[in-house]
Copies of this chain bind each other. A is one copy, B any other.
Amino acid sequence: MNSEFRIQNSEFNTDWLTAQAIASPDKLALVATRPHRSRRPVRSNLAYRQLNALVDGVCGRLASLHLARGSIVAAHLPSSAEYVVLVHALARMGLVLAPLNTRLTSAELGAQLNHVRPALLIYDEAEPTSIPSHWEKMEAVGQTLTLQKLMALPPAPFAPAPMDLERLQSIVFTSGSSGAPKGVQITFGNLFWNAIASAARLGVMPDDRWLSVLPLFHVGGLTVIFRSCIFGTAMALHPKFDVDAVLRSLDEDAITLVSLVPTMLGRLMELRAQVPSSLRLILLGGAAASEELLAEAARRGWPVAPTYGLTEATSQVATMPPDEAARKPGSVGKPLFGAQVRILDALGEPSPNGEIGEIAVRGPTVMRGYFDNAEATAKAICQNELRTGDMGYVDAEGDLFVLQRRSDLIVTGGENVYPAEVERALRSHPKVKDALVVGLPDAEWGQRVAALVVADGITAEELLAHVRATLAGYKLPRVVRFAPALPLLANGKLDRAGARAMLLDLNEKSGFANLSVLL
């Protein structure tokens, strides 16, 4: 993207990992836990000196492949120490990582690979089920290697790529569930400013250990690698979210920060009343947390910092420190250092404080654009400002409230309905555990409000009577369906598309309460 003002810095002629191997060779860089079939999980502890040496080793192997600088290398790997080493090695070699979501279908992965056409695809032979058989001969992929075969190559001499904040570090596919793949282009500058701005809001201490249970193919996981490296702190890496493993890690690994999505936090809170005092912050993002969850966390003194972020802004845009979050539940706080947030009306004009509109973001963490998709980039970035597609407002104190992903906005009879508001009303009933609201097609009104509810011992009619007290008539759900749990995406976010499909399907079969008659 063009920028009005460029910042250069004075000479910095090594990559960050090399610099940290000089500054903090013996400090812990990585604690990676890997499940083992027959024993306790295997743990790898790496100091910066060791991590740096392993990265040099992988660089030598990559060099033997003679890939051109700037080539794209796709990775289909579980979260592991090896993956972190590979991420640094690609950075050092001037290659661009395209991390693949290991839970996608072959067809979805094929579409992504066809889009970015990587020079190399690396996968793990230990996870054979994830490898579509036709990859080896895919025309879009220059070369396919298992990580194990890569490491068996004879190393070649290599020269590290010059450090440049404008260089692409990765292309991260957005978690959007439908349509053509969109690859978010993330630069080293994006990652650098994410690290600085995150440290300014959350603090960073020399003994910090940031536990990441989020996948490395999401910015929520990927950014921890570089945040840790820039400040010489440690990353603790779990292969996936396992509630018992997280609790054990909090107890035994002196974890100081952890990134979670609300579902994960909820599961931890079910099992534990308190977290160890060594844990100083829980960065809670990925989805709006319910006020109940935040209130309960505040009541227990859990140090939750709700954040609003997106892949296109290299994760965090705004984050609220725990003490303020307890005081003002529902807000994600103020923009991070360097970010500017505006709320735009339907015409793209700035809205006054308190008005709901589209959240727009400027700042050094905004992506360069989507890979090879000028149309989508032009739609997303207008005069250096990212149109997030998310709706929210800023209150008189400058704190951001995120109401909804705009794609989830329900328009019924010309009125806007924000699912979050309806969900909050539903959840306020003591017998309701959770609720998810979507719009279903409606011949008469355009959309009708539909709710999927997790509750015990309450009828749809009772529930409707309850929310009628707080919601305008046009916001009331016309469709209510009870379910034992809400559907979730692989990353722990609510699966609104899945819920919509489920409700539509059930609507056809009419095996659930349709409340239109009552309204």
Contact = CB atoms under 8 A, between A and B. Distances in A.
A13 B5 contact: yes
A290 interface: no
A196 interface: yes
Interface string A342-378: 0000000000000000000011111010000000000
Secondary structure class of chain A's binding surface, majority of residues: loop
A189 B511 CA distance: 65
A200 interface: yes
Interface in A365-398: 365-366, 368, 384, 397-398
Contacts of A513: none
A368 B10 CA distance: 8
A164 B12 contact: no
A8 B164 contact: yes
- The complex is assembled from copies of this chain, and their number is 2
Interface residues of A, number: 62
B334 A162 contact: no
A366 B193 contact: no
B192 A12 contact: no
Nearest to A197: B23
A230 interface: yes
Given A203-B206, A232-B200, A337-B20, A3 B13 contact: yes
B3 A7 contact: no
A10 B232 contact: no
Contact of A365 (B5, B10, B337): B10
A190 B202 CA distance: 24
A193 to B, nearest CB: 7
Nearest to A233: B200
A335 B23 contact: yes
Given A25-B334, A230-B337, A334-B22, A9 B189 contact: yes
Given A6-B9, A9-B192, A14-B340, 14 more contacts: A5-B162, A6-B8, A8-B9, A10-B190, A10-B193, A10-B364, A12-B364, A22-B335, A22-B340, A23-B200, A23-B334, A200-B232, A201-B206, A203-B208
27 contacts: A1-B11, A3-B10, A4-B162, A5-B12, A5-B13, A5-B162, A5-B164, A6-B9, A7-B8, A7-B12, A7-B163, A8-B164, A9-B193, A9-B364, A10-B166, A10-B190, A10-B366, A11-B364, A12-B363, A14-B340, A22-B335, A23-B334, A23-B339, A199-B204, A199-B231, A202-B206, A204-B204
Interface of A: 1, 3-14, 16, 19-20, 22-26, 162-166, 187, 189-190, 192-193, 196-197, 199-206, 208, 230-232, 321, 334-340, 362-366, 368, 384, 397-398
